[in-house]
Amino acid sequence: MASLSLAVLTAVAGAVAAAGVVLAAIHLADRSLLRTVRGARATPTDHGRHRGQEEGRRHEHQRAGSNDSDAPQQSAGRLRILQVSGSAAGGVRTHLADCARILAADGHDVIVEAPAAVLDGLDVAPARAEALEIGARPSLGDSRVVARLRRLGRRAHTVHAHGLRAGALAALALGRRRRGRTRLVVTLHNLTVGGRLTTLVGERLERLIASRADLVLAVSPDLAERAWGLGAARVELAVIPAPLLQPPSEPTSSGSTAPEDVWPQEGARILTVARLAPQKGLSLLLDVAAALSLEAEAGRLPAFTWALAGDGPCREEAAERIAAEHLPVTLLGRRTDVPSLMEAADAVVQTSLWEGQPLTIQEALRTGTAIVATDVGGTAVTARGGAVLVVPEAQAIAGALATLLTDPEAGSRARLSARQAAGLLPGPEDLAAQLRQVVLAQD
């Protein structure tokens, strides 16, 4: 059954079959995966209120009478834990390392299985690390991945997989929930986005994970609702610790400038820190910059410069639009002095179309900078009342920014809220407590 299910993934990877053929293959591979997808209904949000803490509590789920399987009987002392990941960057990669280090420091035998590119330079000590090539898309190599995870999983207490691809492959390797099976915990870090076929396959993989995982940890309330709606036995909101404060460092390239030179001395300083990718809402950011620029030219707003720190596949497209429309936006590239930039900014802005628990928001809270962010995914949970949350529309973002830039009292309130929320951010000890409870559980 696992090999047949892998054939489905390979068919999609080849992208040579029509959608109907893919669906037929899924049907033959695993009938349970072809059940009608129940569309996850997004919980209505009130964009005028800060509700992060309430949502965090509301989405800790546990179904009464669940059929969680029992992990292999091992001593309550040293346990073997597999931490598995596919392609990962940014916060996902950081979280993978955090989980490995914490459990290994507790004395457990932790093995990190992830692509070589993910492991390169990643500090997981005292855990061990072994390269396992799980690509971003299905491939013929997935059969080898499943075979290896099945072999390693037989001697493990828990397999903790990060992401949809790693979670689905681990689910295929371990099989259905049953007494005596190795425990499977899957952390879902991202929402599947793309065309109809991409989202359809993503939903099937989510259903596979929901049906076989003992626990799903979701980084945002909407992902938690989806897993719950797909029949997961148990769902909780994942703890994502705030990044440790780092001392200021030099810019990463000779073309970068010191924070005081990023913005002209006259005018407001706006900052966004994001990967230059579609999910981050770069087109929306530039729409907002264009709207505010018109207001500034009319004298209704102070002049401003919007600094955008980060790199990614959309950089060239963004640069072309900035030049064509003469927008007051500066592309800084990748920076390692983000805290210093945030401290110097008048406002930090997030225009993302979806987020899990964004580390950028956590960093901005710690610097006490006024924050405007789109109310998507787990942003409200992360902000904990310390950000001005708005719908992901240019008019709403521009309006909130204009208020902060023209009303000193509004700016002061926003900075105070950020500092207060920073004290509520989770730390490594909170993640450690969750891991000890759910990954090391003796069912």
Q: How confident is the model at residue 257 (pLDDT cuts 50, 70, 90)?
A: low
pLDDT digits (tens, 9 = 90+) for 80-93: 999 999 988 888 99
434: pLDDT confidence band, cut at 50, 70 and 90? very high
Q: Could you report the per-residue pLDDT of 311-358, keeping only the tens digit for each?
A: 999 999 999 999 999 999 999 999 988 999 999 999 999 999 999 999
Asked whether the beta carbons of 45 and 381 are under 8 A apart, the reply is: no
pLDDT surpassing 70 at residue 72 = no
**What's the confidence (pLDDT) of residue 353?**
95
Backbone angles phi, psi at 116, to 5 degrees: -60, -35
Please, are residues 102 and 432 in contact by the beta-carbon 8 Å criterion?
yes
Q: Is 23 exposed, middle or buried (0-12, 13-18, 19+ CB in 10 A)?
A: middle
pLDDT of 340 reads: 92
Task: Match 């979670």 to its residue by tokens.
Answer: 167
* pLDDT tens track for 207-227: 999 999 999 999 999 999 999
Q: Are 158 and 440 in contact (CB under 8 A)?
A: yes
C-alpha 299: how far from chain center: 39
Instruction: Tell me which DSSP letter residue 351 carries.
Output: -
Cα(174)–Cα(181) distance, rounded to whole angstroms?
A: 7
pLDDT at 246: 61
CB 235 within 8 A of CB 218: yes
Q: DSSP 3-state assignment of 359?
A: helix
Q: Note the pLDDT tens digit of each residue in 359-413.
A: 999 999 999 999 999 999 999 999 999 999 999 999 999 999 999 999 999 999 9
Are 349 and 292 within 8 A, CB to CB?
A: no
Q: What is the mean pLDDT of the chain?
A: 83
Token pair listed for 276: 């230059």
In angstroms, what CA-CA distances link 118 with 112, 115, 314, 420?
Answer: 10, 5, 22, 35
Indicate the pLDDT class of residue 136, thresholds 50, 70 and 90.
confident
Contact criterion met (CB below 8 Å) for 312 and 275: yes
Q: List, in sequence order, every beta strand (DSSP E) within 41-96.
A: 61-62, 80-85
- Can you say whether residue 299 is alpha, beta or left, with left for phi > 0 and alpha for psi between -120 and 50 degrees? left
